[in-house]
Structure 1
């Protein structure tokens, strides 16, 4: 059994330079197409979502074994050694075809804080188990939309790849709640730096419960840790931070009051103006006129 380089995502003995889409120097999306049955093992550096488009895949993952068939998918946890057997489809010239997506935490966090979807999340006390899930027409169409990218990888720019990863997560959230819950569960398992999460997202319309989730904490743990770090409740700190930033922007930029209001995550201008006056002693328009 060969243990692969930890930076590798797979064990196919092919020319992967022509089958790999890179982002910031790491393998983001890989395509594996061949007609030779193979087996081996792979060490996962990142969470790996596998779309099987042709053939069969059997993986031994931890103490469990899974069989993935055509038009099915499986999510595998990072920092694990996975044993696999890949076999082609006898109905299609023994063809094996799969796509593999590296799901880095920052990409998932970016999606969660930018999407307009209201995503339901299972209570963290309930374990979300790894399972094979079917791909519907939406996800199959997404998979096919990636095929042209592999024909000329040199022309694929980072912004395209980030867009396609956001599309992947959106389609998965809409089309397969069971699989997306698995992704959320893996994302939730590792607490991240609270300051980093809060400072990055305080100016968006993200809710406090979303900040708790992004930091890998329950809502009660997040509020407790937040109080210890900032000596203020989260809602109070976020409101004051936004209002101070708004004052700074009014004094130093040419943005309109409306533009500043919405850029900082306030829901409407009248609410923004009212709390701005309560905090700074004057309405935003008067401050702008004074400047």
Structure 2
């Protein structure tokens, strides 16, 4: 599928777990991304690939328009088998790979208009053809991308404590945290209990609230500036949880500090 999104409001957070490789062409606006380690900024005309099985947070700095293609594993396995493509080593570990503009890519993007149904999705008759065309344009220009698209390995078991301390602000499910640390859900919960002596859900809430308190108390941040970046979906939910935990609302804390 290819989508074209318009008039998104600033600071909207979208899905924070990337399940498939995603090709994005930013037609208008500015998009900021953060993967837990590095910040990325994309502007009008930029092209990038978001890497699967990663965490990412997005901030829309202005109204944007974009096109994107999601390359799912089943499709990529069919293409690899069909064309006998061998994976190569991709040296970069970045979550977002900026793709240089070139004539083939720009011509491809311009060619999409006749295939778009209701200006949103490619007609199903042509979807697979256009996906394959895009994939081979990318591989022709950057053969090393085969090391990204045709790497079907799953995350291996990693240090759970370090990962959670780094990524607790991402608003994703416990199942996704388990997968990204190379564990089944039951093994993740068991290991988590041994390390933190707490359930994942309770620990995440407490950790995020403590960080929020620090940012408001010590860094003079406003609740509206922190709640999304700390994994809370709404300001009202954040304020309710904050008061329940600390006995004082974020607004009351600001008044107390002033």
TM-score by length of 2: 0.49
Structure number with greater Rg is 1
> Which structure is higher in RCO with an 8 Å CA cutoff and minimum separation 6?
2
State the TM-score, normalized to the length of structure 1.
0.44
